[in-house]
Amino acid sequence: MQQPSPLLAWKASVDENLCVGCGKCTEVCGTCAIRIIDKKAVIDFDRCICCAICMKTCPQGAITIIPPSFPTLQREEDLGEIKAQLKGIGAQLEEMERSIKKL
């Protein structure tokens, strides 16, 4: 059986800082995955098939194609959580290093 392309799992993502809400991306999206909400383009990941037409059309360069896990990593609260976990791991490594030196 043919496996679906891994690229289909990738999605279009909008940089809100660059988007000016012109709506050009909504006109070209064949799956109606993009809506303009509060003057910003918003992607429905369930509808996006990663064709990249919106990315090529956007005059602001506001759209990129990214792996599925990346949008959550862009959120500040998730970055904060990741930083806290890395800090904890760093502290554990320092503790292990101190213990090894005592041997």
Q: How far is the CB of 9 from ligand SF4 (least distance, A)?
A: 12
Q: How far is the CB of 78 from ligand SF4 (least distance, A)?
A: 22
The dihedral of CA 53, 21, 33, 5: what is its sign?
A: positive
Lookup: tokens for 84 = 């806290």
Q: Does 9 bind ligand SF4 (CB under 6 A)?
A: no
Contact predicate 34/54, CB 8 Å: yes
Mask 10-49, x = binds ligand SF4 (CB under 6 A)? --x-x----xxxxxxx--xx-x-xx------x-x----xx
Q: Does 85 bind ligand SF4 (CB under 6 A)?
A: no
Q: How far apart, in Å, do the first and last CA atoms of the chain sit? A: 56
